[in-house]
Chain A
Amino acid sequence: MISVKNISYTYMTGTPFEKTALKNISFDVAEGEVLAVAGHTGSGKSTLIQIVAGLIDLQIGAVEIDNLPVADKKIRRLVGIVFQYPEHQLFEETVERDIAFGPKNFGLDDAEISARVEEAMRQVGLPAELKNVSPFELSGGQRRRVAIAGILALKPKYLILDEPTAGLDPLAKENLLKEIFGVIKKSGVTIILVSHNMEDIARFANRVVVLAQGKILFVGTPRELFAQEEILSRAGLEPPPITQLLRKLNIDENILSLDEAEKFILKNWRKV
Chain B
Amino acid sequence: MKNFIRAENLRHVYKSSSGDKVALAEINFSISQGEFVAIIGTNGSGKSTLAKHFNALLLPTSGKIFIDGLDTSDEKNLWRVRENVGMVFQNPDSEIVAAIVEDDVAFGLENLGIEPQKIRERVDLALDSVNMSDYKKFAPSKLSGGQKQRIAIAGVIAMRTKIIVFDEPTAMLDPQGRREILEMVKKLHAQGKTIIYITHFMEEAAAAQRVFVMEGGRIIKDDTPREVFTDVKEMRRLGFGVPVAAELAERLRRKNFKLPQKILTADELAEALK
Query: Contact residues of A with B, CB < 8 Å?
Result: 40-42, 137, 139-141, 166-174, 196, 236-238, 241-242, 244-245, 248-250, 258, 261-262, 265-266, 269, 271-272
Q: Which residues of A contact B58 (CB under 8 A)?
A: none
A250 to B, closest residue via Cβ: B270
Cβ of B146 and Cβ of A41 under 8 Å apart?
Answer: yes
Cβ of B172 and Cβ of A166 under 8 Å apart?
Answer: yes
8 pairs, CB–CB < 8 Å, chain A vs chain B: A41-B176, A167-B90, A167-B171, A170-B241, A174-B239, A237-B175, A245-B269, A272-B257
Q: In the docked arrangement, what's the CA distance between A266 and B257, Å?
A: 9
Cβ of A244 and Cβ of B172 under 8 Å apart?
Answer: no
A248 to B, closest residue via Cβ: B266
A256 to chain B, nearest CB (A): 12
**Contact partner, B200, options A168, A237, A266, Cβ 8 Å:** A168
Q: In the docked arrangement, what's the CA distance between A250 and B273, Å?
A: 11
Restricting to B23-47, which residues have a CB under 8 Å from any CB of A?
41-44
Cβ of B269 and Cβ of A172 under 8 Å apart?
Answer: no
Q: Which residues of A contact B43 (CB under 8 A)?
A: 139-141, 168-169, 172
Instruction: Check if B144 is an interface residue, CB within 8 A of chain A.
Output: yes
**Contact partner, A258, options B172, B248, B272, Cβ 8 Å:** B248
Q: Which residues of A contact B44 (CB under 8 A)?
A: 139
**Provided the pairs A238-B175, A249-B266, A249-B269 are in contact, do residues A262 and B144 lie with their beta carbons within 8 angstroms?**
no
Q: In the docked arrangement, what's the CA distance between A159 and B80, Å?
A: 51
**Provided the pairs A41-B144, A41-B145, A41-B146 are in contact, do residues A166 and B171 lie with their beta carbons within 8 angstroms?**
yes
Q: Which residues of A contact B255 (CB under 8 A)?
A: 262, 266
Q: Which residues of A contact B174 (CB under 8 A)?
A: 40-41, 196, 236
A45 to B, closest residue via Cβ: B174
A262 to B, closest residue via Cβ: B251
Q: In the docked arrangement, what's the CA distance between A41 and B175, Å?
A: 9
B257 to A, closest residue via Cβ: A271
Q: Which residues of B contact A261 (CB under 8 A)?
A: 248
Cβ of B200 and Cβ of A245 under 8 Å apart?
Answer: no
Cβ of B244 and Cβ of A272 under 8 Å apart?
Answer: no
A60 to chain B, nearest CB (A): 25
**Provided the pairs A137-B18, A245-B245, A245-B269 are in contact, do residues A169 and B42 lie with their beta carbons within 8 angstroms?**
yes
Cβ of A236 and Cβ of B18 under 8 Å apart?
Answer: no
20 extra interface residue pairs, beta carbon distance < 8 Å, beyond A170-B42, A258-B251: A40-B175, A41-B145, A41-B177, A140-B43, A141-B43, A167-B200, A168-B200, A170-B239, A171-B42, A171-B239, A241-B203, A245-B245, A245-B248, A245-B266, A258-B244, A265-B252, A271-B256, A272-B257, A272-B258, A272-B274
Q: In the docked arrangement, what's the CA distance between A168 and B172, Å?
A: 10
A246 to B, closest residue via Cβ: B266
Q: Which residues of A contact B270 (CB under 8 A)?
A: 248-250
Q: Which residues of B contact A271 (CB under 8 A)?
A: 256-258
Q: Which residues of B contact A237 (CB under 8 A)?
A: 175
Q: Which residues of B contact A167 (CB under 8 A)?
A: 90, 168, 171-172, 200
Cβ of B273 and Cβ of A249 under 8 Å apart?
Answer: yes
Q: Which residues of B contact A169 (CB under 8 A)?
A: 41-43, 200, 239
A100 to chain B, nearest CB (A): 23
Cβ of A262 and Cβ of B240 under 8 Å apart?
Answer: no
Instruction: Check if B202 is an interface residue, CB within 8 A of chain A.
Output: yes
Q: Which residues of A contact B240 (CB under 8 A)?
A: 170-171
Restricting to B141-190, which residues have a CB under 8 Å from any CB of A?
144-146, 168, 171-177
Q: Which residues of A contact B57 (CB under 8 A)?
A: none
Cβ of B175 and Cβ of A196 under 8 Å apart?
Answer: yes
Instruction: Check if B267 is an interface residue, CB within 8 A of chain A.
Output: yes
Instruction: Check if B259 is an interface residue, CB within 8 A of chain A.
Output: yes
Q: In the docked arrangement, what's the CA distance between A42 and B247, Å?
A: 34
Restricting to B113-158, which residues have a CB under 8 Å from any CB of A?
144-146
Instruction: Check if B243 is an interface residue, CB within 8 A of chain A.
Output: yes
A240 to B, closest residue via Cβ: B244
Cβ of B252 and Cβ of A262 under 8 Å apart?
Answer: yes
Q: Which residues of B contact A41 (CB under 8 A)?
A: 144-146, 173-174, 176-177
Encoded as 1 (CB less than 8 Å from any A CB) or 0, chain B from 69 to 107 comes to 000000000000000000000100000000000000000
Closest CB pairs A-B (n = 3): A171-B239, A248-B266, A241-B244
Q: Which residues of B contact A168 (CB under 8 A)?
A: 43, 200
Q: Which of B18, B177, B244, B255 gathers most chain A CB within 10 Å?
A: B244
A266 to B, closest residue via Cβ: B255
Q: In the docked arrangement, what's the CA distance between A272 and B240, Å?
A: 29
